[in-house]
């Protein structure tokens, strides 16, 4: 018996600018974002908050893209990075990605970096901001 996986419930009208209605004209690959149910989103955010190392962060970025089509860009600011706010975390715009989710993913990554500062240091070092020190 083939049952379809559960899809995310639509946001209340006027509460979100996700553009879910535009997904009807999109190919099936673009609709995979709807597989991110609220329960799965909570699991994802928890996983992002518990980063182990930089490789773990990169692996999660790759999985987000492969499974949901979400591209996450994480770069240090061009100015000084004194806090985790100095690390720029951006999600590419994607139809069907809820406004709250677009805010929650970067916040969860920042909490993960604050919890494990070694990941942030490795990220800075990967962009040669620590100068090999």
Within a domain: 9: no
Structure confidence at residue 27 (pLDDT):
67
Which strand (E) or helix (H) includes residue 90?
Answer: strand 87-91
71 neighbors 91 (Cβ within 8 angstroms): yes
The residue segments making up the domain with residue 55 are: 20-126
Within a domain: 46: yes
Within a domain: 92: yes
Tell whether the torsion through CA atoms of 121, 123, 126 and 128 is positive or negative: negative
pLDDT tens readout for residues 78-98: 665 555 667 888 999 888 888
Tell whether the torsion through CA atoms of 58, 74, 41 and 97 is positive or negative: negative
91 phi, psi to nearest 5 deg: -105, 135
Tokens representing 33 are 């974002």
Of residues 16 and 63, which shows the higher confidence score? 63
Within a domain: 49: yes
111: exposed, middle or buried (C-beta count within 10 Å: 0-12, 13-18, 19+)?
middle
Query: How many domains does the chain fold into?
Result: 1
Structure confidence at residue 94 (pLDDT):
84
Structure confidence at residue 3 (pLDDT):
64
Structure confidence at residue 48 (pLDDT):
95
CA distance 95 to 126: 31
């Amino acid at each position: 018996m083939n049952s379809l996986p559960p899809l995310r419930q639509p946001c209340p009208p006027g509460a979100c600018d996700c553009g879910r209605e535009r997904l009807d004209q999109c190919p099936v690959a673009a609709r995979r974002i709807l597989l991110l149910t609220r329960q799965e989103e909570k699991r994802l955010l928890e996983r992002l908050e518990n980063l182990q190392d930089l490789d773990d962060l990169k692996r999660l970025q790759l999985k987000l893209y492969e499974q949901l089509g979400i591209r996450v860009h994480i770069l240090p600011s061009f100015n000084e990075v004194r806090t985790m706010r100095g690390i720029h975390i951006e999600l590419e715009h994607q139809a069907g990605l809820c406004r709250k989710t677009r805010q929650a993913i970067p916040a969860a990554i920042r909490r993960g970096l604050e919890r494990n500062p070694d990941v942030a240091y490795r990220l800075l070092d990967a962009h040669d901001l620590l100068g090999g020190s």
